[in-house]
Amino acid sequence: MSDTQVTDAHGEAIDDDKRDFIFIATGAAAAAGAVSLGWPLVAQMGKAADTLAAGSIEINLANVAEGQQLKMLWRGVPVFVRHRTPAEIAEAENTDISKCPDPQTDNERLVAKPDGTIDPRFLVMVGVCTHFGCIPVGEAGDYDGWYCPCHGSHYDTSGRIRKGPAPKNMTIPDYEYISDTVIKVG
Ligand code: FES
């Protein structure tokens, strides 16, 4: 039993049983979507079976067009790879983070290449709402980023929580650039 009263998008109370159902149902549906969208793309990218077994995935960012979001499963969780538009990058960089519930600059949410440069176009994060684990919808919400329909959390174009019950920004997974355009997650 939770001590916290949870409400839906209309402010109506959601009891624990219903809340858990929403979480499970939404998570399952989103995971299925991630599988159907993600694995074929991973396969196209020539993913080695031994790397999959080790829990790492390699992603060629050159295959993700501007404005496109790639979704895939990594260690059982969805990972979003978003090729952000110039407008999305500008929004992410020009945010007054003192007003954010979980203050982080956009650069703090990006990983540098081996030469030390940062490519702000590509945002890589675990696509799970930090409230109760639903899968947020992209290009939605009040901040043009992601919106979690379960209880109304709004994330910006950097995946930072801006409004709603989620306490933290969406998580940045452990990843690195292994070439100029290829990253390894995990
Ligand atoms: S799971 Fe509650 S707002 Fe996302």
pLDDT at residue 138, rounded to an integer:
97
pLDDT at residue 117, rounded to an integer:
96
Catalytic hit among 10, 83, 131, 151: 151
Q: What is the four-CA torsion angle of 86, 99, 155, 149, rounded to 10 degrees?
A: -150
Regarding beta strands 182-185 and 122-126, do their DSSP bridges make them parallel or antiparallel, or are they unpaired? unpaired
Mutation pick for ligand 1 pocket among 20, 148, 171 (CB with most ligand atoms within 8 Å): 148
Q: If you average pLDDT over each of 36-45, 71-80, 148-157, which comes out highest?
A: 148-157
SS (H, E, C) 87-144: HHHHHHHCCCHHHCCCCCCCHHHCCCCCCCCCCCCEEEEECCCCCCCCCCEEEECCCE
State residue 99 phi and psi, 5-degree precision. -95, 0
Can you say whether residue 12 is alpha, beta or left, with left for phi > 0 and alpha for psi between -120 and 50 degrees?
A: beta
More confident residue, 73 or 51: 73
Q: Which domains does the chain carry?
A: 6-185 (2.102.10.10)
pLDDT at residue 47, rounded to an integer:
45
Judged against a pLDDT cut of 50, whether residue 28 lies above it is answered with no
pLDDT tens digits along 93-149:
999 999 999 999 999 999 999 999 999 999 999 999 999 999 999 999 999 999 999
- Centre of ligand 1 to C-alpha 130, Å, is 7
- Centre of ligand 1 to C-alpha 19, Å, is 10
pLDDT tens digits along 32-44:
333 333 333 333 3
Query: What is the residue type of 48?
Result: A
Would residue 154 show up in a list of annotated catalytic residues for this protein?
Answer: no
pLDDT at residue 24, rounded to an integer:
31
Residue nearest atom 3 of ligand 1, based on CA coordinates: 151
